Amino acid sequence: MNRIWLKSYPPGVPADIDPAQLSSLSELLEHACATYRDRPAYEQFGTVLTYGRLDELTRAFAAWLRSVGLGKGERIAIMLPNCLQYPVVLFGALRAGLVVVNTNPLYTGRELAHQIEDAGAAAIVVLENFAHIVEEIAPHSGLKHILVSAVGDLLPAPKSWVVNYVVRHRRRQVPPWNIPRAVSLRSTLRAGRSLRWEPERLAADDLAFLQYTGGTTGVAKGAMLTHGNLCANVLQARAWIGDFFADEPGTLITAIPLYHVFALTANCLLFAYLGWKNVLIINARDFPALVAQMKRHPFEFFSGVNTLFNALLHAPDFAAVDFSHLRITLGGGMAVQAAVAQRWKEVTGKRLTQAWGLTETSPAVAINPIDEDFNGSVGLPIPSTEVSIKDDAGNDLPIGQTGEVCVRGPQVMRGYWNRPDETAKVMLPEGWLRTGDVGYMDEKGYVYLQDRKKDLILVSGFNVYPNEVEEVAVMHPGVLEAAAVAQPDEHSGEVVALYVVLKDPAVTAQDIIQHCRKSLAGYKVPRHVYFRKELPKSNVGKILRKALREELAHP
C-alpha cells in the first residue's frame, strides 16, 4: 500500500524497524542489566533498585517459579500497583517463560474470578492490601500458588518496617485476610537466591502476556501478546524518538498503572531498554504526594491520560515544579482535550504529545512528532505500521473519508485467548486488525479519531463495557431493565450513566449505585442513574443505546 505518512516523518525516523534486533523481553532485560548494571532502574520511597539488583532479584524469582513446577507457558497473574515488586515479579516471570496476566488491583471478586478462570492462571502475586479479594475467590479459582507482598517489603530495614506499619495500622489500608496456603513474596526471593538458574529459551512467537480487554464487545477477553509483539513496539517507539533524548540516561515519573498496557510498554519496557531511572508512584490520585515527587526528581519524560493532566493543572504547587528537564509529555489511553494541551504548554512551557493505540497492538499504533504542537490528531503510523481506513465490507476508503481504522504491523496481537470466534470478528485477511474506532486520515498521513464504533465507555482511560454494568444492575430485585451509556464528564472524560426501568418504584438511585459497588470496580459503577418508564428499542427488541447517548447530548 502507499504509505503516505512516511513523507511527514521527522528526520532520521526509519520507515521500518528490524524485529530481529530484539527477540524476547528476557533478552531486553538481560541487555539492560548487563549494559546499565550500576545505574538506578527504579526508585520508590527514597529506595533505589539498580539494574544489577534487578537482575539478581528477577533471577531469584524465576528460579523459584521453576522450582515449584511453573514452567514455560504457564500463566501467572500480577495484582500489584506501581511498587518495586512489580518489575521484579514481571521480569522474573518473563525470564522463566511464564505468561503474565496483568490484573487490576481494584477488581472485585467477581471480576478477578473471571480473569483467573479464563486465563487458567496457576499463580498470583498480590499486594496484601488486596489479599482479601483473592481470599474470596481462592477456593474455586484453580490457583496453585498465592504469593502475598507488603508495600515496604523491598525497602531496606528499618524503612520497610516503618512503611508497613503505617500502611497497616496508621492508614488501615490492609483489610483482614486469611489464606492459609499463601506464601510471602519475600520468602520466595530468599529461596530463589540459592537455586541454580538456567535461562529459558524464548522466541519471538512465544506468548508473553494475556492482556485483558473487552475490545468492543461484552466480557473481558485476553489479548495474546507475544514477546515479538512487545519487542517490536519497543523498537518502534525507540525509532520514533530517535535522537530526541541524549545518550545519557534520564528519569521518568510513572504515575499511570504499569498493569495498563500503555504504561507497560511506554514506561516499563521502553525505558528499561534505554537504561533510565523510573520513579514509581503508587497512588496517582494523591496529587500532593505526586507533585512532591515531581519536585524532588527532575524528569525528562512524563506520560498520562487527559484526566491526569487536567487534575495536575489544578493541583496546588504544580506550577512550582521544575520543568526545565522535561523533553516529552505523552498522552494516551483516551483523547487529549485541546484545552488541556494548551494549558499544559502554558504552565510547563512544554508540548503535550498525543499518541494512540490499543491493547491488541501492544499498544502503540500512531504517535505525533515530538517537536510539533498539539493538532488534535493521534499522530502518524509509527515505523513498520500500516493504517487503512475501511468500510464495513473491508474495502479501503479514500483519503479524508471516514470509516473504521484498521491496523497491520508486527505489534498486532496473535488473537484472543481461547476465543476464535471473537478473533475472527476483528482480524481481517492479510493481517489487518479492526480497531472498532471510526476516523479518517488526512493527505499528510495524520490519523484523526472521531468516535468509537461500538458502545465502549472510557473512564479515565479505562474501558467499561455496558453489557457488564447492565448485567450487574438487573440483578437488583427492583430493576426490570437497564442500559449503560457514556456521559461526558470534565474530570474523567466519560462516566457511566445508567438508564433504568424499575419493577419496584421504591428503589432509589443510591440503592442501585450501592448494589453495583458490590460487584464492579469503582470506575465502572454508574455515576448517574436515570429512571424511565420504558427504554428505546429496535423492532427486534434491542435497546438503542445510541438514542440514550443523544438524549444526554441534547437534554
264-316 pLDDT, tens digit each: 999 999 999 999 999 999 999 899 999 999 999 999 999 998 889 988 998 99
Where does the pLDDT of residue 246 fall: very low under 50, low under 70, confident under 90, or very high at 90 and above? low
Q: Long-range contacts of range 344-352, CB-CB < 8 Å, 24 or more positions apart? A: 344/309, 344/313, 345/373, 345/374, 347/313, 347/318, 347/319, 348/321, 348/323, 349/323, 350/323, 350/326, 352/309
The reported pLDDT for the residue numbered 216 is 37
User: At residue 217, does pLDDT exceed 60?
Assistant: no
Q: CB of 1 within 8 A of CB of 15?
A: no
Bridge partners of 493? Answer: 489
**AA letter at 319:** A
Supply the mean pLDDT for the chain: 94
User: At residue 451, does pLDDT exceed 80?
Assistant: no
Residue 434 vs residues 375, 394, 408, 447: alpha-carbon distances, Å? 25, 9, 9, 15
Residues 6+ apart with CB under 8 A from 510: none
User: At residue 124, does pLDDT exceed 90?
Assistant: yes
The reported pLDDT for the residue numbered 249 is 87
Q: CA 497 to CA 530: how far, in whole Å?
A: 8
User: At residue 375, does pLDDT exceed 90?
Assistant: yes
User: At residue 245, does pLDDT exceed 90?
Assistant: no
Please state the pTM of the whole predicted model.
0.88
Q: CB of 103 within 8 A of CB of 209?
A: no
Please give the CATH superfamily to which domain 457-553 belongs: ANL, C-terminal domain (3.30.300.30)
Within 10 angstroms of residue 248's Cβ, the number of other Cβ atoms is: 8
Q: CA 71 to CA 383: how far, in whole Å?
A: 34
Quick: pLDDT tens for 192-216.
999 999 999 999 999 999 999 854 3
Through-space distance between the first and last CA atoms of the chain, rounded to whole angstroms: 45
Domain ranges of the chain: 457-553
The reported pLDDT for the residue numbered 41 is 98
Residue 217, classed as helix, strand or coil, is: coil
